[in-house]
Every structure is written in C-alpha cells, then in structure tokens.
Structure 1
Amino acid sequence: MACICPIDLQFAPEISALLQSPPSHETQEYFDNLIAERPCHGVKVKLDGELGKGVYADAEFKDGELVLKDQILVGSQHSTNKMDCFVCGSCFRFIGSIELQIGRKLYFKGLGASSSNHCPSDSSDEEDNSCAIEDANLGECSASVSKGGIALSQEFIESLMGGQLLLPYSEKFSLPSPCPCPGGCGEEFYCSKSCADIDWETCHSLLCSSEKSKPSCRRALSKFVEHANDTNDIFILAAKVIAMTSLRYKSLKEAHLKEVGSIAPRDATVNLSLLLEAWKPVSLGYKKRWWDCIALPEDVENCNEAVFRLQLKELAFESLQLLKEAIFDEECAPLFSLEIYGHIVGMFELNNLDLVVASPVEDYFLYVDDLPGSPKKAAEAVTRPILDALDDGYSICCEGTAFFPLQSCMNHSCCPNAKAFKRDNDRDGQATIIALRPIQIGEEVTISYIDEDLPYEERQKLLADYGFRCKCRKCLEEKAN
C-alpha cells in the first residue's frame, strides 16, 4: 500500500503551522490558566530550554501529600476492559450498582469473547432493563460455574443485571445511575447528565453511532472502531483528538462571526488562526510520528526496522482513511493528514498515562470478608459462589489510556520525588500525583517514566525511546561507578 495522503500535499503550510509549538508567552499563559482551574494550586509549569518544560513546586509538600489532580484532556477505556467494567464514558467513574457490575462480569464471562460495552442491562431505565433481559439470547451463557462446581443460573445472572436481586450490604457501595448518550447510540453511558453533555460537546457528537447519523457515516465509523479494536485502540484516542479539535474550531468560528457581525462564507476555506487556537491544547504535548518513535520490539531485528516502521505507517494510514469516511470536515482538512495523525498517535505513545480506576466490586467483597462471625457467614452464603465464579476477575480495575496536560509536563528522574498513585477516595480517571518525600518550594516535581529499580544500562535503553539520556543524580552516580 502506498501511504500517500493528498491532504499532506495540499495543506503542507497549514500542517507545518500546526506542528509548530506556540510562542512561549502563549504556552505559559495556557498552563497558568490550567493550574488556576485545578483544585491544587501548589505547582507551576516553567518553560526550560533544555527539557522543554517542567513542573515545579510553588508550595511545600510533605511525604505522601497530594501534589496535583489533573483532569483528562482526552481518554479512552480499553475495548477489552469494557466487558469487566461499566464506567462513565467521560470521567470513567463506575456506574450502575454492585449487582449490575457483577452481573455483567458473569454475563460476559459465560458469553465468551466479545469486546462490546453493550449488554442487556446497559440502560438507566429499570423497566427497559427487564424487557431487554427477557428478550436477550443468553443460551450460550446460561450458567457460570465456580471453582467449587456450583452453577450460577441464567436467572440468577439476569436478576443481578436487572436489579431484581440485591446482594447483602451492597447499599454501602452505591454508584451513580447510568445516564445514556444524548444521541441515543447505546454504546456510551455516563455517571450524570453533566458528564454526558461534556463528552457530547467535546467529541462524542462527531463519533456517535446513533440512528440519527447518516448511514454511510455510521457504517464507516463502525469499521473504524472495529479496525482500532483489532489493531491498536490508541487510534480511538486519535479520533477523539480530531473530533475535539474540529468541534472547538466550529465553536470558535461561530463566536468570531458573531463578534464581527458576519455570516459563514459559502466556500469551506480553512481559517488557520482559529484552527491553531482550537489545536492549542494538543500542540503543547510532546509529539513525534508514531511509526518513528515506537520502540523496536525485541523479536524484530535491526535489519528489518525499516519494514517494521513502514508497516506501522500503513496501519495508521488504513485507520485514517476509515476515520475520514466517517467524520471528514473540509474546513478542518489539515487535521486529517497522515502527518498530523501520526503525530497525534505518537503523542499518546510518549505522553500517555495509564488510566486506572479501582473497582468497587473488589471493595465490596473485601467488606464482606471483613464482617464478623454470623453476619459474614450469612452474607457469604450468597457471595461465595459468585466470588468463586468470578475467580481473579472480581478485582479487575477500569483500565485505559489518557492524556493529562499538566502531568505530561512532568520530567523523568530515576530517583523521583513524586508518583502517580490513586488514593482510596480517588474514584474517577483523573491523574493523581503524590509526593514520595518532602518537596521544597522551587524544587522540580519529577516522576519516573520507567521502572527506576532496573540497572543503569537498562534504564538508559528504555529512556532512549523518549529521546533522551537521563542525567539525574542516581544515573550520574551509577555511571561514575
């Protein structure tokens, strides 16, 4: 396949402008405003000529103290994880009920391989739940069998998902009721109308597969998602970035036209200044083309590296063509170039942070296990067969990938003074950065991109994929020895 994208040639100047970093004063202003919006104001982003930018303490932090909670710019739950965790499509908080979460796990465990987030219970209307469950063909998952050989009947699983069966003490772990997608696609659910509206306005209105969208676009979008699930779901994140930027552009253009008292021109020419403004949140992430920056797998010999990287480029090209068929907008054409697409995916490869939200199902079973005497015995008469049937699956977290604008500014150290760590009360997808030791005012806040306990040479090899050699105190001391 020839990876030739006409847009890359037609809009070369616009693409070049998009890949340039904004002026330093605009960058500083952007991050200052972001920090002012966050709940933690004890940090500051500073621009550095050698490292690009870094996060510095603007207050003193004690060991174990919260340094920063950073909101997601764009994130996505892994497709395979959707079988185990029913979460908000915007903030990734668990939704529904303990019974629904457990019922879905058992349902998909019996059904076998499937990556759909839709099952008969994914509805905010209890009557609809019941009807859907009665109509569903659950013959292939009529029972999940526990390690002890106790079968959980189809009726039992249905009752959990439909809300007819309540587990003991589950009321202590209440979860938000599922709120459906505003477009009615049946694929995305949210913890609140607020989250649903935010996701709709941010990107989902362009990526919604509801019956309201054009059939051709819906089919193309379905093919795009299927391709991403079969190859690399990082493409889903890239699609969200393009959708987010396109919608921001439309909003900025509408505001601009109102301000100047004009109407939209008939020709769909690109307003580059507005497109750059819409692109700004993404432009500040460190980017290299995906097929250039991804680490060479150990099973690929150096002599085959060029072939390997060309295969990645072709994969990205296939994904982009499917996305263009679904949501292409002529006014935002430069965003659909292969060069831009490669840099977006590369940004996630180099800047992403694992999105992890602890499961309340694990907390529920731990609570039952900690009950005293007779209450525990009575509760376990119901929960033990469920726990055995779930096996290790009872503790699976929500897992995905996300880009966090402030966290991504944190530089690496092999002896970091902070780390990404979720506390017991952190129940959504925000990045939580905790101090590993006391941090003084003016000190740079650093995290480790890799396992810092590895030997020096192994650490340097892994960090080479990020484009630098580490010169932290630990590396300098070990190099000298």
Structure 2
Amino acid sequence: MEYNHDATTRAKYFADLIQEKPIRFGYAEGKGKALFAAKRLLPGQPIFSEMPFVAMQHLSNQSLVQGCENCYAVCGSIESQLAYILHVESGAIPPVPRTVKVDIEESLPQKGIVKCSCGAVYCSNECRVAAWERYHCLLCVGHPDTPMQDFVRHSCETNEIFLLAAQVICTICVSFARSRNLPEARKPVDMFYKLPWWEVVSTAADLEPGQTLEEYCGIFKDLLSHTVELFVRGLQFNINHLMLHGSHPDAESTYMENIDFENVFVDCEADGILSVDFFARVVGMFEMNNISLEIRHPCSLVAEMYEDSDNPEIKSWLATVSDNIEAKLKLEANEEDEEDNEEGSEQQWEYPYLEGTALYSLICMMNHSCEPNVAVSYEYGVATAVALQDISVGDELCISYIETDQDVDARRAELSEYQFECNCPRCESES
C-alpha cells in the first residue's frame, strides 16, 4: 500500500521537524521539495544540525576505523584507535606521552567500546541500547539460529545498501510495534519521492549489445527478489524470538513490557512494507537522496593539536606514530595510489576518516547547485548545515552533491545518477 500524503500533511510533517530552526520547507520551481532561509544568514554561520534518520559506516572502511553503529563516533582510546588502524595489539603502540593524555581528557573525551553479541560495535552501553530499541533488535544476527545471518552475509557480498534498507524497514516495524499506527510509522519514508532501484541505476548506456533495458532491469529485480526473501525470513524469526524471550541489552529495562510485536509481521506484510517493491523503492530512495558521512578521526585532531610542539617526547611520539600509520595506509592503497603518493607523501597522507552513507530528513531536502551556498560538516553522526555566503530571507538553500572542481560535462554526467540535469547559473554559463 502506498500513502500519498497531501500538501497540508507534508507541510506539517516538515514544520514539526524544523521547529525553531531558521529555515522553512517549500517548493522550488522545476525542482520540487526544497529548503529556504527564514532569516538572513551570514558566511560561516551554522544554520541547523540534524541526526540521521538512518546511516551506516561503509564495510570497506570498517577495517581501518572502528565506529559506533549508533552515533558514529570513533570508538576506543587513542591507543586502541591507533592499534586498530595498524591491526596490532594496543600494547604494541608507543605509549602516549602523559601531557598528551591529560590534554586529550580535557579537550577530546574518548569513547569506550561496547559490543553486541552479534559483533556490532558501540561507543557506550547507552548507544547500544538506543540502537537496539530503534531497529537492531530486529536486525541482530546474534542468535545462532537466525536466518538473518544469511541476509547480512548476502548483502555484504552483493550490495551493502541492502543493509541500510533493512535498517529502515526494521525501524518502521519497531515504530509500529510502539505506536500501533502504521501510516505514522512509515511516514518518514513516504515523505521522500522514491523510484524503484532498477529505474534509478539503469540507463541505456549500461546495456550489452542486443540487450533490452527491460532485460537489464530484470537482473536487479532478480537480485532484489532473492535479497528480500532472505531478509523477510530473518525478520520473521527475530520478531518471533523477541515475542518469546523479550530480550534486551539492559536486563533491568522495562522497554519490552511497553512494546507489542503481536501481528507486526502480518500487518506490515499486508501493508506492502515487506514486499520487493517497497524494498526497491527504499534502495532507490538512498541512491537519490543519501549523503556521504565523513567524520574526522580523533587521532588526526591530536596530531593537529601538537604539530608545532617543541616537546621532544611529543615530537618523537608523533613522528613514530605518523610513520607507522603512513606505511600502513600505503600498504592498503593500490599500486596506482602508491605511485601518485611517492613524491610529497608527507603532505598527502592523512588519518582515515570514518566514512559511510546517511539519510537526513532535512539536509536531504536541500537541492544541488554547482555554486552551493551551504556546506555540511560532521561531528560524530550529527550533520550541521553551514552558510558559505551571505544568504537573504527567502533564498533557497543548496548544497553540492558532487565535487564541483570539474567541467560542466563531467558534472552533468555525475549528476545524472540523481536523475536530473543541473541548470544552475554556473552550468548555464559554461554550457
């Protein structure tokens, strides 16, 4: 079932999200949904901040950065963070100078490491509980018999975005179990325009000789059909397990006493939320609306704090750590990258960022411009929209979806993935 919310419902939904933020929701000619300035904004001024509706760290990034799966902070002490990058035990890391430790405790609070039975990593028990109560209780593969393991393994081998789509559907199911109001539970997803995944990623340029677009789309449909079959099987098992055992990471929590999973699977299935079509539209929504999650590594901040230090102990420690990290990152890079970085590598290498993808309900409402007036910065999972220039009341707020230091043809080719052609003043003048 698809809910077509009217303009009044949509406006109220975004007004509730915006509250006192200096922005307003509206429609831009030729673009659709948009955000506008509700007051004058100055260059460098933070406009609003937002936690993601859903997000995940890229699987390929998890071998270098251990991130919290709830708030996306880098987990652990400085020693454990360095050890994780280098793939060694913490004891093999040069001891952090005492002066540095004292300064870090004051200016850069370090996070812990708490793990779910399935291996999911969190920076605190609070984050573990928050993720469990939002979606993880249905996506967890900690039970040895859950078929959800098959879905997660399949997604890791084919397309990690399937894990993010599953997170969305589990979030809807949990929200419905709390409120017993399915239209309200799925509303955050319904507010985004969604094409099926195969319509977003398939173009005539991708076709093999003699292949039709329908045949090409069929490849994606078959893959997704198998994916959803695995997911639904795992979801049904996990819901039944929760109903039988009421498990929760906090043994003293009364959360499970106030949530009702009875008929959640049946009702969501009847509503179409567990269908291939809905899953495909959620994946398509990510392809068109997701924003890269890029969070600076705390070790990078520490190195910056002491780059001009005259303390010989600190200088020696930084040099040793930097040399080890640089050598490790060169090993991780491919041969082409190594050749590119042979000269001046000291200036070019940097600590790995925590990298992922996220869907922000408000930030994803901002349209693209190759001359953006807003940029997005991150601290842990919190994204902050910042004005790049003087913005007047009523001006549309625009970000860039791509790297803008390309010519107009390259930019338009990259933007075609978002199903539109940019006609901003810069593109018009360069055409």
* TM-score interval, smaller chain: 0.7 to 0.9
How many Å apart are 1:461 and its aligned residue? 3.9
- DSSP-derived class of the 1:91 partner: coil
Give RMSD over aligned pairs: 2.5
Three-state SS of the structure 2 residue aligned to 1:399 is strand
The counterpart of 1:418, out of the listed 374, 387, 395, is 374
Unaligned regions of 5+ residues in structure 1, if any? Answer: 1-13, 108-153, 254-273
Query: What residue number does 2:13 align with?
Result: 30
User: Of the candidates 405, 419, 425, which is equivalent to residue 361 of structure 2?
Assistant: 405
The residue identity in structure 1 corresponding to 2:321 is T
Q: What secondary structure is seen at the aligned counterpart in 2 of 1:335?
A: coil
* Other structure's SS at 2:367 match: coil
Q: Which residue of 1 aligns with 2:428?
A: 476
Deviation at 1:194, TM superposition (A): 3.2
Deviation at 1:67, TM superposition (A): 2.1
Q: Which residue of 1 aligns with 2:218?
A: 310
The DSSP-based 3-state class of the residue aligned with 1:53 is strand
Which SS does the other structure have where 1:444 is aligned? coil
How far apart, CA to CA, are the structure 2 residues paired with 1:451 and 1:303? 35
Q: Residue type of the partner of 1:429? A: G
CA 378–302 in structure 1, closer or farther in 2 if over 3 Å, else same: same
Q: Where does residue 194 of structure 2 map in the other structure?
A: 287
Change (3 A) 1:470 1:391: closer
> Structure 1 residues 51, 298: CA separation in 2 closer, same or farther (over 3 Å shift)?
closer
The residue type equivalent to 1:331 in the other structure is D
Contact 1:93 1:429 in 2 (8 A): yes
Equivalent pairs counted in the alignment come to 376
> Where does 1:16-165 land on structure 2 (aligned, <5 Å)?
17-18=2-3, 20=4, 22-36=5-19, 41-47=21-27, 50-107=30-87, 157-159=89-91
- CA change 1:457–1:380 in 2 (3 A) is closer
- Structure 1 residues 170 and 339: alpha-carbon distance in aligned structure 2, compared to 1, 3 A threshold: same
Letter in 1 for 2:215: V
User: Which whole-Å CA distance do the structure 1 matches of 2:417 and 2:204 have between them?
Assistant: 12
Q: Which residue of 2 aligns with 1:5?
A: none
Distance 1:377 1:409 in 2: 46
Would the aligned equivalents of 1:178 and 1:191 in 2 still touch at CA under 8 Å?
Answer: yes
Q: CA 1:297–1:106 in structure 2 vs 1: closer, same or farther (change >3 Å)?
A: farther
User: What aligned pairs does 1:243-262 form with structure 2 within 5 A after superposition?
Assistant: 243-253=170-180
- Give, in angstroms, the shift of residue 327 of structure 1: 0.3
Q: How far did residue 286 of structure 1 move?
A: 2.3
> Secondary structure of 1:67's partner?
strand
Aligned equivalent of 1:175: 110
Task: Confirm or deny that 1:396 pairs with 2:396.
Answer: no
**So what's the TM-score if we normalise by structure 2?**
0.80
Task: Pick from 273, 278, 297 the counterpart of residue 359 of structure 1.
Answer: 297
Taking a change above 3 Å as real, the CA distance of residues 159 and 453 of structure 1, as seen in their structure-2 partners, is closer
Gaps spanning 5+ residues in structure 2: where?
237-264, 333-349
Alpha-carbon distance in structure 2 between the residues aligned to 1:187 and 1:275: 31
- Distance of 2:158 and 2:41 partners within structure 1: 42
Partner secondary structure for residue 151 of structure 2: helix
Cα deviation, 1:435-464, whole Å, max 9, x if unaligned, reads 221101111101122333433344344434
Match of 2:235 among 323, 327, 348: 327
